Amino acid sequence: DQQVKQNSPSLSVQEGRISILNCDYTNSMFDYFLWYKKYPAEGPTFLISISSIKDKNEDGRFTVFLNKSAKHLSLHIVPSQPGDSAVYFCAASGNDYKLSFGAGTTVTVRA
């Protein structure tokens, strides 16, 4: 049973607009959350993370929001660029040294 869920398999957005990716989790013991980006034929690369003691973390065009009460986090990309076209994975961990991933959302940025 997947503890991290990304319910939107794909997202298409116009260049320059905002991309919003959503992620829900079920395990209340998760206290650290990450987003990874993956291009075809490459391994995932770390994008941004957030600890459960925060509700927002920003890094350039990327912002992650955490709503602990709703067990929900989101990744905002503003503005979206063609190079952002990739698969984005949400991941979460607790105190058991394991990392649980969602199924991924494929983002396509249209010119």
3 phi, psi to nearest 5 deg: -90, -15
**Interaction between residue 75 and another protein (CB under 8 A):** no
d(CA 110, CA 40): 18
Q: Find out whether 104 and 5 touch, Cβ atoms under 8 Å.
A: no
**Interaction between residue 41 and another protein (CB under 8 A):** yes
Q: Which is nearer to another protein, 61 or 79 (CB)?
A: 61
Q: How many residues does the chain have?
A: 111
**Interaction between residue 45 and another protein (CB under 8 A):** yes
**Interaction between residue 34 and another protein (CB under 8 A):** yes
Provide the mask over 83-102, with x wherever binding to another protein is found by CB under 8 A and - wherever it is not: ------x-x-xxx-xxxxxx
Radius of gyration for the chain, computed over Cα atoms and rounded to the nearest angstrom = 13
d(CA 105, CA 29): 24
- Other beta carbons less than 10 A from residue 75's beta carbon: 23
**Interaction between residue 24 and another protein (CB under 8 A):** no
Selected from 24, 32, 61, 65, the binder of another protein by CB under 8 A is: 32
> What is the binding site for another protein (CB under 8 A)?
2, 4, 6, 31-32, 34, 36, 41-46, 49, 51, 89, 91, 93-95, 97-104
